[in-house]
Amino acid sequence: MTKILVAHDGSKLADKALKKAVEIAAKFDSSLTILSVVPELYLTELSDIDRQRIMNILTEESKAAMERIRISLSGKPFESKTIIRQGPPAEKILETAQKMKVDLIVTGSHGRHGAKKFLLGSVSSKIVDYATCPVLVIK
Ligand SMILES: Nc1ncnc2c1ncn2[C@@H]1O[C@H](COP(=O)(O)OP(=O)(O)O)[C@@H](O)[C@H]1O
Ligand SMILES: [Mg+2]
């Protein structure tokens, strides 16, 4: 059985990536892990209290997105789980992929920040550059 890691940032393209990963998992009896990384904020102009507030909101958003996905995948004929990590997104995705020894990482080409003038978003481009396994980028 192959292991697939889906990087999900709550964006529409991440949903599209998940949909493709679900198709693949159903065909090849793969297990799916959906990972949401809550980014850390480095904005120095923020007070610690504001930083904490924003982190709490982002964490709640991630939890809600993963819960929605968990429910949508329950009853599917393959194994799946959702996980949340905190830190720099690309690094955490790559680290998780290595630790879990996944066979494939699936991401969207763009995410929530949507600067579409670039071919790939910064997270997906780092994953393509540094992953040690195959990467499927959905656009
Ligand atoms: N914080 C995150 N947690 C999990 N996956 C992420 C995260 N940020 C981005 N991704 C993945 O990378 C894809 C591309 O996003 P990104 O490179 O951040 O583009 P953009 O610059 O448009 O936000 C997303 O569709 C998602 O699959
Ligand atoms: Mg982004």
In angstroms, what is the span from residue 27 Cα to ligand 2's centroid?
Answer: 29
**How is domain 3-138 classified at the CATH fold level?**
Rossmann fold (3.40.50)
Per-residue pLDDT at 93: 98
Q: Is the CB of 122 under 6 A from ligand 1?
A: yes
Ligand closest to the CA atom of residue 13: 1
Higher-scoring residue by pLDDT: 47, 1: 47
| Residues with Cβ within 8 Å of residue 18, at least 6 apart in sequence | 6, 8, 34, 69, 106
Region 31-57: what's the mean pLDDT? Answer: 89
Work out the percent of the chain whose per-residue pLDDT is above 90: 83
Is the CB of 123 inside a 6 Å radius of any atom of ligand 1? yes
- The protein residue with its alpha carbon nearest to ligand 1, atom 1, reads 37
Every domain of the chain and the residues it spans = 3-138
Query: What average pLDDT does this structure show over 100-127?
Result: 91
Kindly identify the ligand whose nearest atom is closest to the C-alpha of 116: 1
